[in-house]
């Protein structure tokens, strides 16, 4: 069921054919929301276990066009999980210092340690997306990055990191509505930036760059999921389901307590 959103290695992707409005088997939104709430309870428990067991490292990559819902996923999917053991790393335009290193330098510093879940709000994929669309690096430079990224993620996976990557798929019309509501709502206005309109003009180029990235970098060790994201509750359900299924498959146990004497008295 959820596998239909998983991109196979080198699968040709035409995003226009991927339904951003999908709602799976849910006929009612309320049922979807209830399912998300239940998954959230499970995730809370599984994350406690992950932290206690201190054996697994989990990296979650979120990529999307502006207003795609990255912030919403972080707020809703991870609602109530213990902040000890869950970290968010947001990647903005690189600083001069970051630019003076290779593009993976700042990324590698934020990858998870054992017992941690790290969520990337944007990522090294910007280096084959915005960098490509705006020609911030020559084509020969960004072209070779797909292989470099696959090799980097492979190393992380071989060293024990579980990687899940989500592209939140919204339509251009949906972005228009969301930008408009940012403009209209005084509490959302801070999120609106004129730069978003300039990026919106390049929608087709971004779609093309995303299609290439999804196709070239969805691997057995770091798969991409194309998440239908026009409906926020369904987006949250898909992502929660993938994460919960993945953590369940770890078959985690609380650590063995140390052996204690039978006659132990706490004074
Ligand atoms: P926001 O996520 O809205 O705070 O915006 C962050 C901005 O940083 C976006 O416009 C990204 O395209 C930009 N950004 C992130 N990573 C890079 C990068 N490697 N090179 C250039 N721009 C980047
Ligand atoms: Mg923004």
At 78-94, the pLDDT tens digits run 999 999 999 999 999 99
CA-to-CA separations, 111 to 37, 60, 102, 135, 245, in angstroms, rounded: 28, 10, 16, 27, 21
94 CB under 6 A from ligand 1? yes
**pLDDT tens, 75-134?**
999 999 999 999 999 999 999 999 999 999 999 999 999 999 999 999 999 999 999 999
What mean pLDDT is predicted for residues 142-168? Answer: 98
Domain annotation covers residue 255: no
92 CB under 6 A from ligand 1? yes
Q: What predicted TM-score, i.e. pTM, was given to this entire model? A: 0.97
Q: Around Cβ 223, how many Cβ atoms within 10 Å? A: 19
Cβ(177)–Cβ(146) under 8 Å? no
Domain annotation covers residue 265: no
The residue nearest atom 20 of ligand 1, judged by CA position, is: 93
The residue nearest atom 3 of ligand 1, judged by CA position, is: 66
Ligand 2 center–CA 243 separation, angstroms:
25
Residue 130 CA, closest ligand 1 atom number: 12
130 CB under 6 A from ligand 1? yes
Cβ(220)–Cβ(9) under 8 Å? yes
pLDDT for residue 229: 98
Ligand 2 center–CA 159 separation, angstroms:
33
Domain annotation covers residue 29: yes
Question: How far apart, in whole angstroms, are the C-alpha atoms of residue 105 and residue 53?
Answer: 29
Cβ(58)–Cβ(247) under 8 Å? yes
DSSP character at residue 238: H
Handedness of CA 83, 87, 90, 94 (dihedral sign): positive
Domain range for 30 is 2-248
Domain annotation covers residue 230: yes
pLDDT for residue 186: 95
Domain annotation covers residue 259: no
How many residues are recorded in the chain? 267
77 CB under 6 A from ligand 1? no
Q: Indicate whether 1 pLDDT > 90.
A: no
The residue nearest atom 23 of ligand 1, judged by CA position, is: 93
Q: What is the mean pLDDT of the chain?
A: 97
Percent of the chain's residues with pLDDT above 70? 100
Question: How far apart, in whole angstroms, are the C-alpha atoms of residue 222 and residue 156?
Answer: 10
Ligand 1 center–CA 38 separation, angstroms:
33
Domain annotation covers residue 263: no
Residue 103 CA, closest ligand 1 atom number: 19
Element (H, E) at 161: strand 161-169
Domain annotation covers residue 261: no
The residue nearest atom 13 of ligand 1, judged by CA position, is: 93
Q: Indicate whether 223 pLDDT > 90.
A: yes
Our count of domains for the chain comes to 1
**pLDDT tens, 165-212?**
999 999 999 999 999 999 999 999 999 999 999 999 999 999 999 999
For the domain that residue 58 is a member of, what is the CATH number? 3.40.50.300
Domain annotation covers residue 258: no
Ligand 2 center–CA 93 separation, angstroms:
11
Ligand 2 center–CA 42 separation, angstroms:
31
72 CB under 6 A from ligand 1? no
Alpha helix positions (H), the chain? 29-53, 70-77, 96-99, 105-108, 130-133, 139-143, 145-158, 172-184, 194-201, 203-217, 232-249
């Amino acid at each position: 069921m959820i596998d239909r959103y998983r991109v196979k290695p080198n699968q040709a992707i035409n995003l226009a054919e991927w339904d951003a409005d999908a709602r799976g088997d849910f006929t009612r939104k309320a049922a979807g929301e209830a399912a998300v709430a239940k998954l959230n309870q499970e995730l809370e428990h599984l994350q406690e276990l992950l932290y206690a067991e201190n054996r697994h490292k989990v990296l979650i990559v979120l990529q999307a066009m502006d207003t795609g819902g990255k912030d919403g996923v972080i707020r809703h999917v991870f609602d109530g999980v213990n902040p000890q053991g869950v970290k968010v790393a947001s990647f903005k335009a690189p600083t001069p210092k970051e630019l003076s290193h290779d593009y993976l330098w700042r990324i590698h510093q934020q990858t998870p340690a054992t017992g941690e879940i790290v969520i990337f709000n944007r990522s090294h994929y910007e280096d084959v997306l915005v960098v490509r669309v705006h020609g911030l690096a020559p084509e020969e430079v960004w072209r070779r990055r797909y292989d470099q990224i696959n090799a980097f993620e492979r190393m992380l996976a071989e060293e024990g990191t579980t990687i899940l990557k989500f592209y939140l798929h919204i339509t251009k019309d949906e972005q228009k509505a969301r930008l408009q509501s940012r403009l209209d709502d005084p509490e959302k206005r801070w999120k609106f930036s004129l730069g978003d309109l300039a990026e919106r003009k390049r929608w087709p180029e971004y779609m093309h760059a995303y299609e290439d990235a999804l196709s070239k970098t969805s691997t057995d060790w770091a798969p991409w999921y194309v998440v239908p994201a026009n409906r926020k509750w369904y987006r949250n359900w898909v992502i929660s389901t993938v994460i919960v299924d993945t953590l369940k498959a770890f078959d985690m146990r609380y650590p063995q307590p140390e052996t204690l004497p039978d006659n132990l008295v706490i004074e």
